[in-house]
Amino acid sequence: MIGTEVGVSSWVLVDQARIDAFADVTGDHQFIHVDPVRAAQTPFGGTIAHGFLTLSLLSALALEAQPKIAGAEMGINYGFDKVRFLAPVKAGDRVRGRFSLAALSQPGPKEVDITWASTIEIDGGKRPALAADWLNRFYLNEGEQT
């Protein structure tokens, strides 16, 4: 079970509009993200998504790809043990999430912690955009125990 791939999401387009919206929400308007003309002069050859935009896509990608946890009332993002940004996501790239079960523990009678080995792949890319060990905590329904 540990090390088993549990799901792969569909491809999601990371276009300039998404990058610009993320820049507006976060206030990070660095030119490599929002100025296609100036960014074209960099080694990237154009604008790239913020690393944190790529990371934030894990939530939506996981909802599609990860299995539902039987007996869980809710789950929360519990943090990351490791995050690495391995390749830039360029405006116009498509990405998808790939998830494997990395660890499982039960800190309490109604809590289950799962660590997902999470990767965001770039369509046609040689390297993934991101690799992360992502922790989720699930709270079991009343009457449920593992």
pTM (two decimals): 0.91
| Residue 143 pLDDT level (bands cut at 50, 70, 90) | low
Task: Using the predicted structure, report yes or no on whether residue 68 has a pLDDT greater than 90.
Answer: no
Domain-wise residue ranges, the chain: 5-12+50-140
77: three-class secondary structure by DSSP: strand
Report the CATH architecture of 5-12+50-140.
Roll (3.10)
Among all chains, which residue has been given the structure tokens 């960014």? 39
Contacts of residue 92, Cβ cutoff 8 Å, sequence gap at least 6: 13, 14, 15, 16
Distance CA 47, CA 104 (A): 38
Q: What is the mean pLDDT of the chain?
A: 95
Task: Using the predicted structure, report yes or no on whether residue 81 has a pLDDT greater than 60.
Answer: yes
Q: Given CA atoms 47, 86, 76, 95 in this order, what sign does their dihedral have?
A: positive
Average pLDDT over residues 5-27: 98
27: three-class secondary structure by DSSP: coil
As a three-state string, the secondary structure of 81-141 is: EEEEECCCCECCEEEEEEEEEEEEEEEECCEEEEEEEEEEEECCCCCCCEEEEEEEEEEEC
For residue 145, the model assigns a pLDDT of 52
